[in-house]
Amino acid sequence: MSETKRGFVRNTKQREVILSVLRGTDTHPTADWVYQEVRKELPNISLGTIYRNLRILVESGQALELSFSSDCSRFDGNPENHYHFACTECGNVYDIDMPVAQGLDAEAEKASGHKVMFHRLEFYGICQACGGGADGDLQ
């Protein structure tokens, strides 16, 4: 789940262009959009290279991936809005019993100018079962 280590990384024209495309937009593009864009400069690049490099950029902290922790949807029988904790180690998702901060919606609405209906909040870290206690502070 966490293959964050990579011996060393070579600089390639492809990765350079991908990163500059990513930095040059605020549209939170999909991999395919990046592909189409990069192709204008490197017509022979392949989608596989886009994916491989996006992953490298995310793992090395140069880009953010916007998606839920899991690669597939998970479902919750409790339809009321509540928060979740996802363990980055084992992938388990837990409910968090803490009050929903409604004030955040108003704050975001003022900051963005968009009509905010609700929000979703997920916490990430190491769960108790994986050795990450709330007060452990192992590292």
Cα Rg of the chain, angstroms? 19
The nearest distance, CB 31 to DNA, in angstroms, is 4
When CB distances are held under 5 to 8 angstroms depending on the partner's kind, the choice from a second copy, DNA, none that residue 49 binds is DNA
Nearer to a second copy, 16 or 32 (CB): 32
Q: How far is the CB of 37 from a second copy (least distance, A)?
A: 12
By CB under 8 A, tell whether 31 contacts a second copy: yes
Which residues on adjacent β-strands are paired with residue 87?
Answer: 125
Site residue total, a second copy (CB under 8 A): 77
The least CB distance from residue 28 to a second copy, in Å, is 4
Binding-site member from 6, 27, 40, 43 for a second copy (CB under 8 A): 27
Residue 24 tokens, joined? 């040059």
- 64 lies in the binding site for a second copy (CB under 8 A): yes
Do 70 and 93 touch, CB atoms closer than 8 A?
yes
Site string for a second copy, 91-110 (x = CB under 8 A): -xxxxxxx--x--xx-xxxx
**Closer residue to DNA (CB): 101 or 124:** 124
- Both tokens of 42, joined, read 């490197």
**Residue 40 found at the interface with a second copy (CB under 8 A):** no
- Hey, is 111 helix, strand or coil? helix
Are residues 38 and 17 in contact, defined by beta-carbon separation less than 8 angstroms?
A: yes
**36 neighbors 47 (Cβ within 8 angstroms):** no
Residues with Cβ < 8 Å from 27, sequence gap 6 or more? Answer: 33
